[in-house]
């Protein structure tokens, strides 16, 4: 058996929730390794709906250990709110089932304020952040002025961290027309929330090493999508962390060789939330049809997602950068009823053809998709659980996707229900 890392292979919202839940039933430990509470997913288990933003998917399953690695930025108030909402639904959460890395950086109210102030000041040039303070928190981490979970256990250390934090943020706030931070109020808030979050603190890296030695199966869970990666995404319209599979190791605290099978989640078409280039975007009835049939609204923000045809060139890029072993192709049923389907195989930029999306922002904005058209199907794929249940044209579409992205389909999802999944290869089997 092997461990499995799950990443989004597009711009997020690929349907990771269902797939991760499907896999978490087979795992012993589920670890969240990057991002914050700016991305979410929905789980449907025995008719009950759970909306998660920060907590790993394993949290809703009894007998599983959930962990949050140091690659995550943690809003302690958002964490407690999410825990409270899940407890109301009957989910038992305690330090025995949830472990949080002692070294995880905290998202503070000042980070949320700065996030929103910058977006407002940017006007038409805004990036489209969720306003939850993710980016500013990562900035403070890299700037070595973050307050980490372990700091809440020692008041003297916390005092020093606050001094360094305010020395940076007060001038920033002044430049944006805001007054200085209330140091005493922030300190009091942190000491108060410490009582509730410190019991979850643990050396996650050490516990994962012990689990590995004991032969436990570990599921590494990412948020968002690789095309939002800070290094490899459509910069600057990206998130503030690394989303590619390499982050699973560093964000959880294990060696690269321990990550195992890398499963990329791929939607059968393409969506994006917020600003940024989107070569295959459809601003017509077809795009609207995809959005309506796919219920394309953000779990966290509620924002309508932009929709377009499947972009094989972009997914092929993610396959290479993350070394993906296989993909889980989701929402195939949304394509039911289209007479023909288009797949982007490359781009034309100012008359020059590319088989990948260029890095320069001006070229990305000018990129025109080069399409391959294939027949659609009229029969329904919804709820299919065997290849034999799929129309021949749907199978042909899946096989063509595999060829164009250079990676096999390991799982195929045909509805939001977890059991409506065609298993080709069990990732945990390696």
Write out the catalytic residue numbers: 13, 41
State the Cα–Cα distance between residues 159 and 162, nearest whole angstrom: 5
Ramachandran region, residue 295 (left: φ > 0; alpha: ψ -120 to 50; beta: rest): left
Question: Pairing relation of β-strands 98-101 and 41-45?
Answer: unpaired
Secondary structure of 235-249 in the HEC alphabet? CCCCCCCCCCCHHHH
Distances (CA, A) of 175 to 30, 171, 180, 391: 42, 6, 11, 60
Q: Is 81 helix (H, G, I), strand (E, B) or coil?
A: helix
State the Cα–Cα distance between residues 27 and 65, nearest whole angstrom: 9
* Contact predicate 104/74, CB 8 Å: yes
Q: In terms of C-beta distances under 8 Å and separation of at least 24 residues, what long-range contacts does 284-287 make, across chains too?
A: none
State the Cα–Cα distance between residues 226 and 239, nearest whole angstrom: 10
* Contact predicate 275/128, CB 8 Å: yes
* Contact predicate 154/190, CB 8 Å: no
* Contact predicate 36/104, CB 8 Å: no
State the Cα–Cα distance between residues 63 and 25, nearest whole angstrom: 10
State the Cα–Cα distance between residues 278 and 208, nearest whole angstrom: 38
Distances (CA, A) of 197 to 53, 76, 188, 201: 17, 7, 15, 7
Q: What element of type H or E holds 271?
A: strand 270-272
Per-state percent for the chain, helix, strand, coil, to nearest 5? 40, 20, 40
As given in the structure block, the two tokens for residue 69 are 């690695």
Q: CA 254: distance to chain centroid?
A: 20
Which residue bears the tokens 């700091």? 151
Q: How many CB atoms lie within 10 A of CB 359?
A: 10
Of 416, 357, 360, nearest to 226 by C-alpha is 357
State the Cα–Cα distance between residues 233 and 61, nearest whole angstrom: 33
């Amino acid at each position: 058996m092997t461990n499995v890392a799950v990443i989004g292979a597009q711009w997020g919202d690929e349907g990771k929730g269902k797939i991760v839940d499907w896999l978490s039933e087979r795992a012993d430990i589920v670890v969240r390794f990057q991002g914050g509470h700016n991305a979410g997913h929905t789980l449907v288990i025995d008719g009950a709906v759970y909306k998660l933003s920060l907590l790993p998917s394993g949290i809703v399953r009894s007998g599983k250990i959930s962990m949050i690695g140091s690659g995550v930025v943690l809003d302690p108030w958002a964490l407690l709110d999410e825990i409270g909402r899940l407890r109301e639904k009957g989910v038992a959460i305690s330090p025995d089932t949830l472990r949080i890395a002692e070294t995880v950086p905290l998202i503070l109210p000042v980070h949320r304020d700065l996030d929103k102030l910058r977006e407002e000041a940017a006007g038409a040039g805004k990036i489209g952040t969720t306003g939850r303070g993710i980016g500013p928190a990562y900035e403070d981490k890299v700037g070595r002025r973050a307050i980490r979970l372990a700091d809440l256990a020692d008041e003297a250390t916390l005092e020093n961290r606050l001094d360094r934090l305010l020395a940076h943020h007060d001038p920033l706030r002044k430049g944006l027309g805001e007054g200085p931070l209330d140091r005493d109020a922030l300190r009091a808030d942190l000491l108060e929330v410490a009582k509730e979050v410190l019991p979850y603190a643990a050396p996650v890296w050490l516990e994962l090493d012990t689990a590995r030695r004991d032969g436990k199966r570990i599921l590494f869970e990412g948020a968002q999508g690789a095309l939002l990666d800070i290094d490899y995404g459509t910069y600057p319209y990206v998130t503030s962390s690394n989303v590619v599979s390499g982050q699973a190791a560093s964000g959880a605290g294990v060696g690269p060789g321990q990550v195992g099978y890398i499963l990329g989640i791929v939607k059968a078409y393409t969506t994006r939330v917020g600003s940024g280039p989107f070569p295959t975007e459809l601003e017509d009835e077809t795009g609207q049809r995809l959005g309506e049939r796919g219920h394309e609204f953000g779990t966290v923000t509620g924002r309508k997602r932009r929709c377009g045809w499947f972009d094989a060139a972009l997914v092929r890029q993610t396959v290479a950068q993350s070394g993906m072993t296989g993909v889980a192709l989701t929402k195939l049923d949304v394509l039911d009823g289209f007479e023909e389907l288009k797949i982007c195989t490359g781009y034309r930029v100012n008359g020059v053809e590319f088989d990948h999306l260029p890095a320069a922002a001006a070229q990305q904005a000018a990129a025109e998709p080069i399409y391959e058209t294939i027949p659609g199907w009229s029969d329904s794929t919804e709820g299919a659980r065997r290849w034999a249940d799929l129309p021949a044209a749907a199978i042909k579409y899946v096989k063509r996707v595999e060829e164009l992205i250079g990676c096999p389909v390991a799982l195929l999802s045909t509805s939001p229900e977890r059991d409506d999944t065609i298993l080709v290869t069990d990732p945990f089997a390696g």
